[in-house]
Amino acid sequence: MNNELRVKVAKRVAEELNDGDIINLGVGIPTLIPDYLGDKKVYLHSENGLLGMGPTPPEDEINMDLISASKKPITMDIGASLFDSSDSFVMIRGGHIDMAILGALQIDETGEIANWAIPGKTILGVGGAMDLVAGAKKIIIASSHQAKDGSPKFVKKLSFPSSGARKVDMLVTEHAVFKFKDGGCELVEILSDISVEELRDITDANFTVNQESMNL
């Protein structure tokens, strides 16, 4: 997915954030979100030991001692705090994160995700995915709709190792917004010029359509 579409997903997810929320940003698209918050005052948490992450710095102000979970340069907001990873995971495991915004390798139609390992490939690092899935109060997935090979990432059943039994609340891709509830999935918004029928063609998972939100 090109950068323009990645930004599109990040901007749409940013609309879901509320003032005062403590929000963890995972690797990938989620780390773009600090640049698209507008006037919202949220507290961005990075599992490598920062609360109060700010937007991307200008090139002449980059300090690679300050990086996101994606190892990209960041800034610190006024009042930000630094701590070691053990304290960071105490926050996650203790239920102090209002929302986690994560990427995913696969999402199934019940909202269970896989985002830490691909069978047969080297595991570079589990990171905090499993802790965040278990500990955050709300989970939003920001992801491309399809994998690089064109296969669906939104599937009936996971074929990659699960990140945990906990279900996510929302999935945002370049094409659509889905919400998960009571073991099922509902399409609530189209974000591209794709039709519902075309969306089903590139989606393995089953989903219903919210007629009211879709103005159908």
Give the CA-trace dihedral at 107, 173, 168, 29, to 10 degrees. Answer: 100
Say if residues 45 and 22 touch (Cβ distance below 8 Å).
yes
d(CA 154, CA 16) in angstroms, rounded, equals 21
Distance CA(92)–CA(57), nearest Å, equals: 26
Q: What is the mean pLDDT of residues 125-150?
A: 93
3-state secondary structure of 169: coil
60-73 residue pLDDT tens: 999 999 988 778 89
The tokens describing 59, both together, are 């090139």
- At 62, phi and psi to the nearest 5? -70, 135
Q: Pick the catalytic residue: 16, 47, 109, 212?
A: 47
User: Cβ-count burial of 93 within 10 angstroms (0-12 exposed, 13-18 middle, 19+ buried)?
Assistant: middle
> Is 47 labeled as catalytic in the residue annotation?
yes
Q: Distance between alpha carbon 205 and the CA centroid of its chain, in Å?
A: 19
Q: For residue 216, is pLDDT > 90?
A: no
204-208's contacts with Cβ under 8 Å and 24+ in sequence apart are 204/152, 204/154, 204/155, 204/156, 205/107, 205/108, 205/109, 205/152, 205/154, 205/155, 205/156, 206/109, 206/156, 207/109, 207/178, 208/184
- Identify whether the C-beta of residue 107 lies closer than 8 Å to the C-beta of residue 169: no
Residue pLDDT, tens place only, 28-83: 899 999 999 999 999 999 988 999 999 999 999 999 999 887 788 999 999 999 99
Q: How many angstroms separate the CA atoms of 11 and 104, rounded? A: 18
What percentage of the chain carries pLDDT values higher than 90? 84
User: Is-contact 21 98, C-beta < 8 A?
Assistant: yes
pLDDT at 48: 87
Distance from C-alpha of 155 to C-alpha of 159, rounded to nearest angstrom: 9
- pTM equals 0.94
What type of residue is 50?
L
